[in-house]
Structure formats: structure tokens, C-alpha cells
A and B are shown apart, each in its own frame.
Chain A
Amino acid sequence: MRPPLSLLLALTGACASAGKGTSAAQAPAPAAPTAPATAPSAAKSESTSVERLQYPSTYARHPNPPVLIRNATIMTATGQEIPNGSIVLKDGRIVAVGAKVDAPAGAVVVDGTGKYVTPGLIDDHSHLGVYAAPGTDAESDGNEATNPVTAEVWAEHSFWPQDPQIPLAMAGGITTIQALPGSANLIGGRSAILKLIPARTVQEMKFPGAHYGLKMACGENPKRVYGRKGGPSTRMGNMAGYRAAFVQAESYRRRWDAWNKDHKGDPPERNLRSESLAEVLRGNMYVQNHCYRADEMAQMIDLAHEFGFKIRSFHHAVESYKIADLLAKEETSVSVWADWWGFKEEAMDGIQQNAALNQQAGGRPIIHSDDPGGIQRLNQEAAKAMYAGQRSGIPITRDQALRWITVNPAWAIGLDSIVGTLEPGKMADVVVWSGDPFSVYSKAVQVYNDGWLVYDRADPAHQPRTDFELGEVPAPGSDR
């Protein structure tokens, strides 16, 4: 009678579709909260922790009137840019996009004259909430730097919903983030995929149906942190560390998969570290791999082949242009900056055409922030990377560049069937810009998250402020 472990783990919000490497096409309807349809009966006093819901999302769509935005340039991220177009949002969904649409009765009408509309932006590499402002040691919750392998820690258990950086990112048009553990560890822990909305608890922000990511890190950081704390102290030590962890996880997975078949005898003892890694081996959890150098990315691909998993995205990946062909073939995306370089040796070969060269090679580039400043202007970072490519003769289109900050990161976190484009049926995550989002002079003026107007530059009633800010940070436009 008891459901298999893999299904129970799926109910934690890690993955509703156990299908290996698929996008989250079978994830629960985004408008519905992930209230457990198959919640284990509380009456079963003999049940154990593996059979109960684990840290479920309590996300619920905020009720809103329908919205019609008209006479705007609609950038769909599906190849189309519709001048004088309209878009209709209803019950958390995009219901119509085009030159002519039917507005539902009672719709709030937004005049988009001169304005641009894009999908909500997605940052697949953020440390909001885990490295919260004001940036004291007390708020430094991103690196569990006590062991090089901490696959057992979950970023959501560090995440602080009152981080004052959250509303700043919202004002930049961000609607979804992947909050990641830091990069001190070889295996840093699980990411949290979050709707960027005002909330009291992280569970209210957890994106229903998203795949957990597993943060891994190559290169200098683990070496630097553990070189004098028992290792690893070399890149070969890094590799041995990943391999040892996955070897353990392989046998752990075997034991549990066997037990899940017939539930004969006592279940194996849970091990939280191996539990995360086993989910990677099952294809349910996506590897998000901090890795700068081209040769190290190639090593990590070999590691993934050894253990039979896919690396979903190489993050930072400043040298990914050197192996863009290999990465495209491997179907591993790259989450890169527009122009960061030089802050450490493994970042010395960063070039501004990195995203464009990956696009040219048939890869899936993503512009990420890794930064509470950069997340507020992901559109500008994409613009820089697009024009750098164009100026070098790489014909990047506006639609491709928009995909770098919308549907491509959505793919990296397994949500591209739900968010990332402006298409009927997609979640109503929508940004209205004052002008062309690839201009330095444009700003997000309205941000809808699942149809909820979470930010309006013209209306202080839609400019959420965290608890932290009250009495500490002067409100925009006001003196102390």
C-alpha cells in the first residue's frame, strides 16, 4: 500500500514527473497549490519519515482581476515580437497574446503605448535569501563549509524571505529564482526554486513542481576552502571527492529501489546526503555545476557519464566558449555573466562573446547574476552580451537574447513548459517595461507574478517592503 520512495520524494516538490531529463511538463498545474493529493494518512502511526511530505510548497496563487495590456510591443520569447500587441492575463494564466485579443469582462486595462512586454525574468543563479542583506555574518547562510560534500543541506532551510534584496530584484522584473548554496563545497546542497513574491515563509514561495537543483562546484573554491582542512587540496582531489560521494549514492539508490519494489523487511536507514545524490542518479534532481574552466567542464562531463546523470547547466562557465561544440552536443546549458572576468585565475579568460558563441554553436546560453546588483538588471546584462556578439559578427537575435533570461533558465530548472515565454496557457509571469528592455534607459514598470501585480513603479501600494526595511531603510522617494 505504501507508495514508493521515489514518488514520496517527488511530493516534496522536487519533481512531480519522475521522467528522466524531461522538463516539468507533468508538474502540477501552477495555479494550484501543491496540497498533497495523496497525503499519507495521519492515522498511520507506524509510518516513517520517508512516507511523509517533506517540506512541501504551500504556494497559493494570489487572487486577481483579469488584466489586459494593450498597444505594447510584445516580446514573446518564442520568436515573435508583436508591435502594437496585446496580452490578457486571467486566473494566473496567459490566455491570449496577439495583435487582436478579446478582453474578458472586468479586466483591468493597462495602456502599453510605447512600452514593451516580456516574460518574467528568471535568474537560475541567485543567492538572495541565503546571503541576505545587510550582509553580516549572522545573515551568511549560503555555504555549509564544514565538509566538502554536503548534499544533505537545502538552500530553502537558510532562505530568509525578509531579505531586503528581494523587492529590489522584483523591481528588476525577476519573477523566479533558483536560490543556490555557495560554492565552497564540492557538493554544496539542494537549491530552492522560488517565486519571487512577498511572503512570510519560504514554503509560500516554493515553485510547485520544480526540480530541485544540486549545487556542485569545480576548481579553486573547494581547493581553497579545504586545502588546509583535510582536503581536497587539488583538482584531482576534487574529482575523487565527487566520485566517492556518487559511489556511495549508487549503492544507496540500489538498496532503496529494491526495498521500494516490495517493501519487504525494514527499510534501509535514511542518509540525507546520499538521498539527494540518489535523486540526481534517478534524474529527478538537476545538477547545477559551478565550473569556470573548459578543461574542468570536460572532466565533469566524464564524471556525469561515469555515474549516468546529466549536468543541467554549467554555472559561471567563463571558458564555455572554448568547448561550446562539446556542450551543445551534451545538451548542457551554460549560465554565464555578460562580462565578468579576472577576479581569480580560473576567471581570467572571460570574454564578452561567451553567450553569443554558445548560441552560435547550438547551445543553450543563460545569463545569470550570482549577484544582488546584477539580478536587478538581468535585461541589461543580456543586452551587453547580445550586442557584444553582434558587433563581433555573430547574428544573435533579440528573441534569442530574451531567451537567455527567460525560457532558457526556465529549462535549466525544469520549468520551461510552465514559464519563460508569453504563450496562452503559460503562467502569467509578465513584465511591462518603460521601453525596449535592451536599452540602458528602460526600467520595469509593472511586474506580474502568476497574475499578481507584485510591483508597480508608479504605485507605492505595489512596492512591497520587507520587515527589515521598516524604520531602517527610507522608502523610495522619501526622506528619513
Chain B
Amino acid sequence: MIALLLAQTIAITGGTVHPVSGPRLANATVLIRDGRIVAVGTNVSIPSGATRIDAAGKWITPGLIDGTGQLGLVEISAVPGTREASVQGDTIAAAFNVAEGINPASTLIPVTRIEGITTALAVPTGNLVSGQAALIDLDGATIEQMLVKSPAGIVADLSERAKDNAGGSRAAVADRLRGVFRDALEYERRKVDFGRAQMRPLSASAADLEALLPVLHARVSLIAYANRRSDIETALRLAKEFKLKLILTGAAEGWEIAPAIAAAGVPVLVEPLSNIPSYDALGIRYDNAAVLAKAGVKVALLEPDTHKSRNLRQQAGNAVSYGMTWDQALRAVTLAPAEIFGVADRYGSLEPGKVANVVVWSGDPFEFTTGVEHVFIRGKEVPLTSRQTELFERYKKLPPTY
């Protein structure tokens, strides 16, 4: 509310700026006006009246983007009344858009953003086609104020856990998706016949088929969760058959076929700190992100545990530890996800014209020593407080004062 009224100019001066879109700039200024970045450089003139933030010795990056999780869609994992990410009774839930389930008052949002995550994908879960994901900024009093892009993709599950939605076989998963995609295209061609009930029954509801059309016309991405190499290959095969704009997520065994993924031009969302073998991914290992990146795949890094989204920077640091370059890892939590979700014109780097999601860190954002000093979301500085900081303040001296 306040943010909309403020016409504010902020100059973050003297820090080391990592624009991501270009080389690192020492002793540089980031100038923000009315929610946008207006200048980045070492020779920026600062308007009088600008609020100055002295960032000498600090590191400045774009706000981090976590390309998964259920921020805004879950409060307490074990309490069903606070979970909004999954619908029952529809294995093809393509028309289910999570946006109106988002709770802007969720306590997870301040907990996460004060550690430098400013944007996240709110992802539907469950079913074969889980629904439509929404990209949100972690600030705003209303859903409308938070939304960056919706849908940012339609989610389908090709992993082991989806099998029961298709009768219990991986082969049936692929077959079911193919059938639904074909029906959606037929529905599009024969909407009149469908309306008159002059068509054979289709394999999903009209609303779900309708929702899939932008995917089948490659205007909206299909975000496919697949881990086993053969499942990843199935996703690539389906994408080729139907000319889909595919995003792979999970992709635990992606390293095994990194050149093929690169050749297909398919980006991958990876959780670096994931290496426990299961029958869904016996080849899972820590250097997956690095191998994919080295092969030329566009990689974004994830922290899938919603309550721990703030650990995205730990994930990125470990990706570096297991072979990514530092620059690749920073890109993989900023510009790469912005590109993958189709918002790189507005997000992901520190460039004039982009939305001013900016974080001032005390040092290397991936290191544990580093703390967040300032967070700007859409050009507004957010207070570094959360329910957790309030609990700490209450109990830092015992007994507490209630």
C-alpha cells in the first residue's frame, strides 16, 4: 500500500556490485527510482534528495529467485488447513492455478525475504498434471501486488510418485499425457462439436484441456518433474513430439545425458544438495548441477523445502563446492531462473529498467559468515524483521517479558 504511494529514489553507493548481466563493478552505485533500477555503474550521478545507503565493503546482487517450493501456499506442513498447493480428484489439474491460494500474510514470506530471497515460484503439487505455477515477489499486501507472472508454467510429474495417477506404470504416465495433449488439440479444433456433445468423451475436463493449449502452442512452459534418466528422456521425447517449451525440474540423473539436454535447449532446475539414492534416482549426486552447466545447459538452482527457502544460498555455495563456477552459481539463482520463467526483461540482473529487487550483503552471499544488510523488493526497503526475529527479541534474555 505504502509502496504504491512512494516515489522514492535510493542510491546504494560504494559497494561491489554483481549485476550478473555483466562483470563485477567495484565501488559502484545502484540507483533505484520508483521501484525500478535506473542506473548501475561506477560513475552514476546521484540526484539530490536521494536516500543514500552506504554499502562500502558490501556486496550487492539481484534478489535471489527460488524456482520451486510453496511460498504463500503452506504455513504448517502438517496442518492440511494451511496447505493450498494440491487439488484432489483431478489427475489432470491443468486449470488449477495456485495464485488465489497464496496467503500474502504468511509468516514464511518475511522469514525468507530477510535472507535475500526476493522472488519465488509457487508450485502446485500432486497429480499427473499438478496445475499452474505462479512467480511471486515476496512482498505485497495482496496477491495482485505479489504476482510477477501467472502462469509461469504448468507442472507435470513424470517421476515415480506420479505413477499411481496413471494406473501404476511409467509407460502409462507417458501414454496418459500424450492422450491428454492430443485431446486438448482436438478439443481446440472442434470446440463447437464439443459444445453440442457431438464428440467422443475426452480424457480431461474442458477447462483442463483449455488450460493446456498455451502449453501446446509453446506460449507457456511445461515444467516436468523427472529424475530417472529414462523419465527425463520421456519428457524430452514428449516435448519434441508436441513442440513444447520444456523446463526440467529435479532431473537428478540429468548429468548422465547432459549433452542431450543441452542439445534440446531445455533448461533444468536442480537441487544441488541432493544425493540420497532411491529407485527414482539411483544415480543422484552432488555434481549434477556442475556437469549440466559445463555441458551448456541453462541451470537454475533450487531449495525445495519451502520453510528453508532461505538456504538457497547454501545450495548455491555447495554447487560451487561441487564444481560450478561462482559466477555460474550466482547466475543460477538470479538471471537464469528469470530467463527460464520468461521474466528476464524485468528480473534477474541489476540493469537499468529492471524491477529493483536488490540485496546488500555483508560479503559473499553464499558464505555462512555473510549476513543480509538491506533488502529491496520493487524498490522498497523491507524491514529485516519476521516472526522469528520477534521470538528472538522476546527470549534473548530470560525470563521473557510477555
Contacts and interface: CB of A to CB of B under 8 A. Distances in A.
Given A322-B400, A387-B369, A440 B282 contact: no
A134 B282 contact: yes
Given A339-B308, A343-B78, A392-B392, A472 B371 contact: no
Interface string A422-442: 000000000000000011111
B273 A473 contact: no
Contacts of B320: 440-441
A115 to B, nearest CB: 15
The winner among A372, A438, A439, A442 for most chain B CB atoms within 10 A is: A439
B346 interface: no
Contacts of A480: 256, 283
B371 A387 contact: yes
A321 B388 CA distance: 12
Interface stretch (B11-19, B87-95, B167-175, B310-318): B310-318
A340 B314 CA distance: 14
Interface stretch (A35-43, A203-211, A348-356): A348-356
Contacts of A387: 368-369, 371
Contacts of A349: 391
A49 to B, nearest CB: 39
B252 to A, nearest CB: 12
Interface string A62-101: 0000000000000000000000000000000000000000
21 contacts: A133-B277, A134-B279, A134-B282, A135-B276, A325-B399, A340-B307, A341-B388, A343-B78, A344-B77, A351-B388, A372-B276, A384-B314, A386-B368, A392-B392, A392-B396, A394-B396, A438-B369, A440-B318, A468-B277, A472-B277, A472-B282
B77 A342 contact: yes
Interface in B313-342: 314, 317-318, 320-321
A345 B78 contact: yes
B317 A441 contact: yes
B283 A473 contact: yes
A473 B368 contact: no
B108 interface: yes
A342 B283 contact: no
Interface string B368-400: 110100000000000000001001100110111
A221 to B, nearest CB: 10
B395 A322 contact: yes
Interface in A230-251: none
The winner among B368, B395, B399 for most chain A CB atoms within 10 A is: B368
Interface string A112-132: 000000000000000000000
A340 B308 contact: yes
B275 interface: yes
A136 interface: yes
Contact of A443 (B78, B107, B276, B321): B321
A480 B388 CA distance: 46
Given A339-B311, A341-B307, A441-B320, A357 B395 contact: yes
Given A345-B78, A380-B368, A439-B367, A135 B275 contact: no
Contact of A342 (B279, B307, B367, B398): B307
Contact of A345 (B79, B366, B368, B371): B79
Contacts of B388: 341, 350-352
A235 B312 CA distance: 36
Contacts of A473: 277, 282-283
A480 B229 CA distance: 11
Interface in B184-220: none
A164 B371 contact: no
Contacts of B141: none
A333 interface: no
Contact of A351 (B78, B285, B391, B398): B391
Interface residues of B, number: 40
A133 B314 contact: no
Nearest to A393: B396
Interface of B: 75-79, 107-108, 256, 273-279, 282-283, 285, 307-308, 310-311, 314, 317-318, 320-321, 366-369, 371, 388, 391-392, 395-396, 398-400
Nearest to A435: B321
A135 B274 CA distance: 14
Contacts of A9: none
Interface of A: 133-136, 164-165, 168, 220, 321-325, 339-345, 348-353, 357, 361, 372-373, 376-377, 380, 383-384, 386-387, 391-392, 394, 438-443, 468-469, 472-474, 476, 479-480
A141 to B, nearest CB: 16
B202 to A, nearest CB: 36
A473 to B, nearest CB: 5
The A interface, classified by DSSP as helix, strand, loop or mixed, is: loop
A156 B273 CA distance: 28
Contact of A373 (B107, B276, B367): B276
Nearest to A343: B77
A344 B79 CA distance: 7
Contacts of B79: 344-345
B313 to A, nearest CB: 8
Given A342-B77, A387-B369, A476 B285 contact: yes
Contacts of B395: 321-322, 357
Nearest to A168: B275
Given A392-B392, A472-B277, A474-B283, 19 more contacts: A133-B277, A133-B278, A134-B279, A164-B277, A343-B76, A345-B78, A349-B391, A351-B388, A351-B391, A351-B392, A357-B392, A357-B395, A372-B276, A380-B318, A438-B369, A440-B321, A441-B366, A468-B277, A474-B256
Nearest to A165: B276
Contacts of A324: 398
Closest 3 CB pairs of A and B: A440-B317, A344-B78, A342-B307
Contacts of B314: 380, 384, 440
A146 B10 CA distance: 62
Contacts of A345: 76, 78-79
Contact of A344 (B76, B273, B275, B400): B76
B321 A441 contact: yes
A315 B199 CA distance: 61
A223 to B, nearest CB: 12
Contacts of A341: 307, 388
Nearest to A346: B78
A331 B314 CA distance: 33
B368 A440 contact: yes
Contacts of A321: 392, 395
Contacts of A392: 392, 396
Nearest to A474: B283
Given A387-B368, A480-B283, A220 B78 contact: yes
A437 B204 CA distance: 53
B368 A373 contact: no
A373 B273 contact: yes
Contacts of A384: 314, 368
Nearest to B400: A322
Nearest to B371: A391
A225 to B, nearest CB: 13
A2 B108 CA distance: 62
Nearest to A434: B321
A464 B78 CA distance: 37
A373 B315 CA distance: 12
Nearest to B388: A351
Contacts of A344: 76-79
Nearest to B74: A342
A441 B308 CA distance: 20
